[in-house]
Structure 1
């Protein structure tokens, strides 16, 4: 810009500033180049006495490129008012300025002007019209313009395919591609990137294979963008081996290529391989860090996810919203509320990242799973826009904390506001009823599911069996299992066995245990629960049978463990664990606590005796 200003000064001194060609070239740099300055460009434009159409087009294009769509549209309107003779690029840039406006009518006005000026038949203008309508999610209007076009080039077809993909109309995108394949128009790499993206969203490996074979058969040049899109397609379609094959053959790889392979291994549960790829990356960005954090978080390794997030912050990478959502999920899994609160205080309250609906839902889930139902509700109440996930998260939070009445109240409020509950909503409601033993309310919700278009699934039956089992209606629970019309899974038989354990029903408990031993013979909990149930009823022979079966199958009881956070570090302890480096000091303090608690009990007993004597 400093050099541009010097040239401008020289042009003013020599009088070249009044010549349209040199001033147009100067304006082009200042308005369009990344190093340019739009404010200076506007000032320069205002000093040109009679700008030609190229200069008008340049300033509109500059405004759009720099994100000032409204200003660009104002320039276009001024062109119309001053009767400037426009060319096809004027209408293209005018439509592009309308894409950044919230009002569709501005684009419709430009469309009318296009009709009046006779440019409606120009393929260049029509392609931009198609793109405009696709950006505004008006696919029917875009399709109308496309079908009315006498000439359809590769840009026309690609705009329709890409627009369909961006608006989630995957079947329509692939149908358009099939139509295009039957014409003489040859696709280019941009077309294939859109097609690969459509296949990725569909998640069908067969469609992915056909798209790749088509590109190879047509002899298309596989650019880096096209290779990356194909790599991403195979990852999302579950073709991890194909993705590895493509990655290994790539001569040139960028950060997107490496990140796709991290996602591939993460989706396949190969977390160590994902980390190996991550460590080998020549260059990392925030997306690659997020992918690796997601790999840990989604494969039940929350502590590794939190450690990596800390390393990412140390490397001075600013997290994205998606990064924080994954980190909050790891906090929820590990119970690490301190990290979650720090994220809330630093990144949200200090306005680094806006509190969107998705991020708010993640905070609600994190706070509730970390035991702070009040903070979860506080975030929920502060949300400007709530969706079904928001209500589901809060209902499940209330259910897990035993607040059945609040869960039911929120459910009624949600329905009143017009939200349609889904299967997760009913899992939360039925779970809430089970925790409080609300049998009547549970049956009402269970029977109302069909009215909301939700068919009871295995998890809903499990909640009902749990509810009936907790209150002792074991025969009713068993009848419900027999009336399901599907084979009961471990959750259902486990809920029944737990109910039998609570209410000492040995015969039904043995039946449930037998089912569980077939479904998962390696689960130690089944044998332990059955032995405990039989021991309570003094059926020692059954206890011995349960324990001998456990030994015969080589099943060992999973040891219980506790997790505690001290100054941001987590410490895990097993029963009678002495592996911790400070175990001697820990047990010494524990003994002192027990001793003081016994002393407190003695003091309270003596105090109560004195009171009783006095009374």
Structure 2
């Protein structure tokens, strides 16, 4: 097929007659018409060969068209374009700009910036497009962009609308909001167009300054400037970030009244706004009313249902998707993980792998969270070995933090420490993860030592840091340090204690028997105590036999959650320890009267990548008969062993009977 096309091209070239004037040669030569219909680099090189043979390539217009196709078409080859450019003896500004644009389009920002500097050195006469693409090639390099800005002023383009719009966009990309606003303010009101206003709104929204972005939108309407879909996408993004449903509805009504092109991108932003504002009913109406949907549309709905805990609907949407990408899979895996469904998240990850879809960093972070919940250390270790050690995925701070959290929660604190020490890039979350990990493993001194090291390196602790620190003090019984850190939170760092911090302090005081002080702190709290706070009080009462305060804590906990069987069990244990058998009967009666059943014991295990869950008094697993048979044999053998033999591992009868109840698999 390619050979046929080449033969046709040669035939066409052979029939071309020589034009009678240079102007006609440039404008009307049929080769240029052939060039416009070119569809591949093979065709392009054939045309270039003919142009070289006939001398057409030495004329500015034909070579500029040839270069445009080489650098910017869908089959572009920038290496070929560079070779062609180097053969042009005296390129005009259009040709320079084509190359600059080509570097940007193909993401060769450094080469593009170097090319722009070459233009400066050769004193090329810039036009507005040169500066626009020069700024784009700066990407997120602030100094380079500021240098281009200086050149803009030096060459007299400071008041050009297109260049000004490019500067607003650039400063927004590098996070210099004030510089973007300054460029905007220096423009005369009548000079600004819809691109100017939309760019500034987008700058504010991306920087998290949504209220200021919305104020600019109101200013824009007040100046009588018409909006377009880009404007409204930015405004809907602001509404989504604020989570302001009422505002979002009013903006949606405004769009319906205005003659704004309701493109797929705009409707996706409307859908995303309703999802993030928690209005799934309207989001579904918008979704169903969309004539065209893409992967983003479907994924938005999956995210919405998952975040609302409606996992059945989320999975239904996922299964009905005509096309899925990695973002869709991530959304569903994250939905399961965030809703405490680690088994389903891990199974979906394996399904994704089986169809050959390659995970990205976000995928691993979601799956590692599921591993942490389920205790799947083997899978987590395999992911590190397969994806990180083999350099399939770069170990960023975010991914490293997820691994540290997984190792700590799966009981391998040594691996968490080793990874933390190896990480080239750390952030506050990295330190927090290991501090919390040390605390949960009872390594109070190590947690506090790490905290002090973190502070010495200049990291400013946040609320999560102090949850880890106070939890470490609680587990280690470090009352003096706990009191000191609790005060330091607000006095040194301006962090007001939250419910979690109060729960940690009350737990610390309760564990070491300071129940009066713990209850006193509870009464001083500026907010209503939650389950964690009252739970810490009840647990302390059980430990130290304070029946009176325990009753109060139980009453408060039942008010907060009457269906939590753990509350009744703790209170029953407290009463039994004090031989208050009438009280025990009363608690059991209350539990029965409220229709509360004791939550069966549950544990899980991962064997060769397969996730197994164990429930008390359940024999639904297909291998349960064999499991119980093996366990029975172990019990029989244990009874025959000599309890005095030091080399023997004995299992006490009561422990074995308990194991029989807990061995069943769901």
- TM interval, shorter chain, is over 0.9
Of the three residues 149, 153, 164, the one matched with 2:187 is 149
- Which one of 606, 612, 626 corresponds to residue 571 of structure 1? 612
Q: Distance in 2 between matches of 1:287 and 1:605?
A: 57
Contact persistence 2:375–2:605 (CA under 8 A) = no
* Residue in 1 that maps onto 2:123: 83
3-state secondary structure, aligned to 1:565: strand
What is the match of residue 63 of structure 1?
103
What residue is the counterpart of 1:135 in the other structure?
173
Alpha carbons 2:376, 2:605 under 8 Å: kept: no
Quick one: structure 1 residues 540 and 210, their matched pair in 2 at CA, closer, same or farther if it must change by over 3 Å?
A: same
| Corresponding residue number in structure 2 for 1:200 | 240
Aligned pairs for 1:358-437 (under 5 A) are: 358-437=398-477
1:93-112 alignment runs, 5 A limit? 93-99=133-139, 102=141, 104-112=142-150
Please list, as runs of the form range in 1=range in 2, the aligned pairs for 1:282-297 lying within 5 A after superposition: 282-297=322-337
Name the CA distance, whole Å, in 2 between partners of 1:497 and 1:115.
Answer: 71
The residue that corresponds to 1:545 in the other structure is: 586
**Closer, same or farther in 2 for the Cα pair 1:94/1:514, shift >3 Å?**
closer
SS of the residue 2:614 aligns to: strand
Q: Which moved further from structure 2: 506-515 or 358-367?
A: 506-515
Candidates 246, 256, 260, aligned match of 1:216: 256
SS of the counterpart of 2:371? helix
The question of whether the paired residues in 1 share the 8 Å contact of 2:298 and 2:318 is answered with yes
The change in CA–CA distance for 1:443 and 1:82 in structure 2 (over 3 A counts) is closer
Which residue number corresponds to residue 525 of structure 1?
Answer: 566
Supply the distance in 2 between the matched residues of 1:596 and 1:332 (Cα, whole angstroms).
35
Which 10-residue stretch deviates more, 72-81 or 370-379? 72-81
- Which whole-Å deviations, capped at 9, do the CAs of 1:21-77 have from their partners, x for residues lacking one? 111111101111232111111111001111111111111111121122232223323
Q: 2:498 aligns to what?
A: 457
Describe the superposition over 1:409-454 as per-residue Cα deviations: whole angstroms up to 9, x where unpaired.
1111112222222222121111112212222222222222212212
> Aligned partners of 1:605 and 1:307: how far apart in 2?
43
Q: How far is 1:534 from its partner?
A: 1.7
Alignment of 1:199-348 (within 5 A): 199-348=239-388
Who is 1:191 aligned against? Answer: 231
Correspondent of 1:501 among 530, 542, 564: 542
Partner of 1:488: 529
In the aligned structure 2, how far is the partner of 1:24 from the partner of 1:196? 41
Q: CA deviation at 1:553?
A: 1.8
Give how far 1:291 is off.
1.0
Shift of the 570–179 alpha-carbon distance from structure 1 to 2, 3 Å rule, reads same
Structure 1 spans left out of the alignment, 5+ residues? 608-615
The CA distance in 2 between the partners of 1:86 and 1:233, in whole Å, is: 42
Equivalent in 217, 220, 224 of residue 177 of structure 1: 217
Residue 73 (structure 1) aligned with residue 108 (structure 2): no
Q: Say if 1:85 and 1:593 are closer, same or farther in 2 by CA, change over 3 A.
A: same
Task: For residue 244 of structure 1, report the CA deviation from its aligned partner.
Answer: 0.6
Cα distance per residue 1:161-211 (max 9 Å; x no partner)? 112222222222111111101112101111111111121112211221122
What is the CA RMSD across the aligned residues, in angstroms? 1.8
TM-score, normalised to structure 1, is: 0.95
- Aligned with 2:645: secondary structure? helix
SS at match of 1:572: strand
Q: Deviations over 1:296-337 (max 9, x none)?
A: 111111111111111111222222211111111111111112
**Following the alignment from structure 1 to structure 2, what is the Cα–Cα distance between the partners of residues 456 and 163?**
34
CA shift for structure 1 position 282: 0.8
5+ long unaligned stretches in structure 2: 1-40, 649-666
Match of 1:3 among 40, 43, 49: 43
In the TM superposition, structure 1's runs of 4+ consecutive aligned residues that sit over 6 Å from their partners are none
Q: Tell me how far apart the structure 2 counterparts of residues 377 and 24 of structure 1 sit (CA, whole Å).
A: 59
**1:477 aligned partner:** 518
Q: Does the CA-based 8 Å contact 2:70-2:80 persist in structure 1?
A: yes
* Match of residue 510 from structure 1: 551
Aligned position for 1:612: none
